[in-house]
Amino acid sequence: MIDLHTIALSLQAGKATETSALITQAVQENYALEDILKQGLIAGMEAVEHRFSRNEIGIPQVLVVERALNMGIKTLTPLLNACETAGKGTVVIGTVKGDIQDTDKNLISVMMRGLGLRVIDLGAAVTSERFIHAAEQEKAQIIACTAARTTTMPQMKTLVQAINTAGIRDQVKIMVSGDPVTERYCEVIGADLYAPDAVRAAELAEAHCTHNMGN
């Protein structure tokens, strides 16, 4: 059987077609989607982010890896769609206004869907108004927003304030995540949930939605 670590290595090398093929093989060999995500795609991206933070690779290499990641996610999408269960709750997700870096958002999205949550992905550079409209329309339990740069983090505070003004603060929880985001920042701006990584984001969302749907 395939070693899921090979998916991580293929992703790190930016081999999009190979990564997709390895994921397909893992699915055929009945690996759990959560294991493919954690041990394959997420482990690979974490290694890449670590190398980037140490200046071992540059932005061009990261972009190649992200292309492979997106192809891997596309390969898993039909299976993730089958996993979605409306009864487990709904999450609206996107990167904040001004931020087009969506790697973290994509990983969080696939992890949540892998756990059976219904995820409404608004994409990148999402305004507070779009987050709120989608949450109201889809009756979401969580709005999850990510930021990849310190310069766009203030948009998270803007979102919290907009949700308060919209009068839906008691209906939806706000989750924040992204490389520069900290638990302290989450507390300062008045958000509800801080996720240091995609795995924790999915776990927190599942726990909250399960509790909320049960009440």
CATH architecture assignment, domain 86-214:
3-Layer(aba) Sandwich (3.40)
Fold of 5-83: 1.10.1240
Rounded CA-CA distance 190/97 in Å is 18
Q: What is the pLDDT of residue 85?
A: 64
Residue ranges of E strands in 1-105? 90-95
Per this entry, what is the length of the chain? 215
pTM for this model (two decimals): 0.81
Q: What mean pLDDT is predicted for residues 32-40?
A: 88
User: What confidence category does residue 146 fall into, taking pLDDT thresholds of 50, 70 and 90?
Assistant: very high
Domain borders along the chain are 5-83, 86-214
Q: Rounded to the nearest 5 degrees, what angle is found at the Cα of 43, between the Cα atoms of 39 and 47?
A: 155
pLDDT tens per residue, range 60-114: 898 899 899 889 988 988 877 776 666 689 999 999 999 988 888 988 998 888 8
Q: What share of the chain in percent tops pLDDT 70?
A: 95
Per-residue pLDDT tens over the stretch 41-73: 989 988 988 898 789 998 889 889 989 988 998
